[in-house]
Structure 1
């Protein structure tokens, strides 16, 4: 039986065997169907605010969605190279290696490399782990099939080897060897399992969800109370019913939007300013957004929170550079080392490397300033710069030469003058 069939099944469908029902005396959940198993796997704990927080519900919070989008987008869009060491100083693209095809062309039958990397990185951020089954032929990887982290259980044996148990949708459990799984691990406390930022930010995210629900309820019921109706005497039952119907029709919007409210029996209206509760609710939402960005390692300005920052200038630039250094670099290193361990293995001359220069690909000024300096110092030749810009070599054949660094200009003339028998005389 092939690995694919073991994991996802195949051939004629088979009805799961009936299970004996029983009562759990410990107050747990009794699972008897595949749907109950699905719900249990995706269940999350209820926070103090009353909101149930799971990785899926957390994505409904705008700040969480924005942070996951930013961090997963960097990994998805940055070029990933598979390199081969020719000698101590020479490297070349290992385009003949099967891992190059997986990560640059077709990781599986339905995903592009960017889709695969974006999804795996999102799993890593939201759940602390990301898994993909490695389908191999004759010892060479051919496909990478993503596995949902909620359905994978990672165990460490007594000999320190790892084994993975995948729960299929029909409830059956399949065991996978360590060599059959591509496993990305984020921050870990035991060296095996990654911890999810959602777990530790659960209360903050739950508060944000509760605040959004509260705000939606308030606006559904006609927004906050902005005025008080005062009656000089006592409003009768019939007058109260007329007033309630009039208010409901007035707050319904539509054709009534913007029209004046007609009051009867000498009633007056007193306008109210924003209450302290309203102001505290708005401020608490801002604090929640900042806390979520902190948990997920993204500067607030990158998710649209520029209230306490200038939108231009060195402050934003420094924060962006800090994000690249401390968050993006962390993600890129995790991917590179995991590819080397799980896909490339013991081939010491082949390794994975992201092209970090692509971080300034959208900034043409910064990109060309870097090219000019590289040309001046003899790091790049003109043809190498043109290749980075996806351009053909120069037609005159002069693009392969390297320029001398500025501090060596005139060095040849100086050496000729100093080659005489007499030492150079001081000026």
Structure 2
């Protein structure tokens, strides 16, 4: 197998692959989790059992499932051109490694960033060129005394290796020290823990037939064995959904006394609804994006604005973060100086109704009284349509005359003997 394992064997370029033994402390941190006051131990795995966290993580991951392009901006003309011949294009878009497509790889990046605030990928190079990117699940980062970043990652069960910053693509979320992103799950563990605890409490309530607990009383003195036998018999015939509404037969003066449901018990639904908002708030996702709307009076227009807010406050910052990190660590200094950079296509999130889409393109082509900023070929490219002859020109609303190479509208000439103007 190529990648990290190949690098240790000498197949790829690895500057500092040193194999170590197991890291007990790392495994303890990874699987032991962070305790919460609700009594639930929170790790990224247990956090995903909370449906709100799962939905938020999916919305964040799906934000990276749009095409990622490599462009080159000309320093003189300030224009940009997509460069599909760049070696990194095929890695990011088609085959980052042996088992993932580009879409699946970017989705993994989104999940890691959403839950841990960091993503680590091993950069496999062949002859100095990036050949593959391998996501790392168990990886830690530290800053060395000389200011450089060092990474330790598990490559095989019980084996770890050290890598330099040039060998690891580290995408950081919001960071306090600038070297490691803040762990989202740890920061909102109380909200997640309360959500899971209230869900379990509600589930146990319904497993008991949605009835509060109670006590069996008698004036007689029962021995330990008699109390245990009575408890087992009661549980076998009266506890659980299958035993609801069955008649209890009690002897020896035993009486059943139900315990009244408290106000906290009666507010389970409200508590769980509030935790949806709390988890969404901590993960930076609008509640409407996970299928929850606390405002029952929300209209279609307000919902549309919320979707745009998700694009502005969640999707676009994530795109900028990943693209900026890729430009820094996946492109060489010479390529950056030549104007190469990465960008995500956000048109997939801006696909409104056909009527709104047509109105937008009409104005963009110059039909709104102002010069157009899109060419017909660019408009066609949004729907993956092929260009047309003459479709590479911008238009201004002078009976839709094309703009010349000098940036000004082409002069209007008239046919001999006709009053109808034609483009000269």
Q: Give the TM interval when normalised to the shorter protein.
A: 0.7 to 0.9
Q: Is the 8 A contact 2:139 2:151 kept in 1?
A: no
Aligned positions of 1:313-392 closer than 5 A: 313-346=300-333, 347=335, 348=337, 349-361=339-351, 363-375=353-365, 376=367, 377-392=371-386
1: distance between equivalents of 2:232 and 2:166?
A: 69
Equivalent in the alignment of 1:80: 68
Shift of 1:324: 1.6
Summarize the alignment of residues 42-191 of structure 1 with structure 2, pairs less than 5 Å apart. Answer: 42-76=31-65, 78-86=66-74, 87-148=76-137, 150-158=138-146, 160-191=147-178
Q: What are the superposed Cα offsets for residues 295-344 of structure 1, whole Å, 9 maximum, x if unpaired? A: 10111111122132434334323332222212212111111111111111
Q: Distance in 2 between matches of 1:183 and 1:6?
A: 20
User: How far, CA to CA, are the matches of 1:331 and 1:122 in structure 2?
Assistant: 12
Instruction: Give me the CA root mean square deviation.
Output: 3.9
Pick from 199, 203, 209 the counterpart of residue 212 of structure 1: 199
Supply the distance in 2 between the matched residues of 1:179 and 1:33 (Cα, whole angstroms).
24
Residue 168 of structure 1: CA displacement? 3.6
Could you tell me how far 1:177 is from its partner in structure 2?
A: 1.5
**1:41 touches 1:151 (CA, 8 Å); kept in 2?**
no
Deviation, structure 1 residue 408: 9.2
Does the C-alpha gap of structure 1 residues 170 and 268 become closer, same or farther in structure 2, counting only changes over 3 Å? closer
Cα distance, 1:174–1:247 mapped onto 2, change above 3 Å: closer
1:158-307 equivalences under 5 Å are 158=146, 160-225=147-212, 248-249=236-237, 252-253=240-241, 261=247, 275-307=262-294
Q: Paired residue for 1:4? A: 4
Partner Cα distance (1:154, 1:73) in 2: 29
TM-score (norm 1): 0.77
How far apart, CA to CA, are the structure 2 residues paired with 1:125 and 1:335? 12
Structure 1 unaligned segments of length 5 or more: list them: 12-31, 417-427
**CA drift at 1:250:** 5.6
CA distance in 2, matches of 1:373, 1:270: 74
For residues 280 and 40 of structure 2, the distance between their equivalents in structure 1, rounded to whole angstroms, comes to: 19
* Aligned pairs, number: 385
Quick check: 1:229–1:267 contact (8 Å CA) kept in 2? no
Unaligned 5+ runs, structure 2: 12-20, 402-407, 414-424
The residue aligned with 2:397 is 405
Higher relative strand content:
2
With over 3 angstroms needed to count, the CA separation of the structure-2 counterparts of 1:156 and 1:320, relative to structure 1, is farther
Name the CA shift for 1:38/1:336 in 2 (closer, same or farther; >3 Å): same
Change (3 A) 1:53 1:267: closer
**Structure 1 position 399, deviation (Å):** 4.1
Q: TM-score, normalised by structure 2?
A: 0.77
Residues 118, 173 of structure 2: 8 Å contact kept: yes
Alignment partners' CA distance in 2, 1:406 and 1:75: 41
Shift of 1:273: 9.2
Tell which deviates more after alignment, 263-272 or 82-91.
263-272
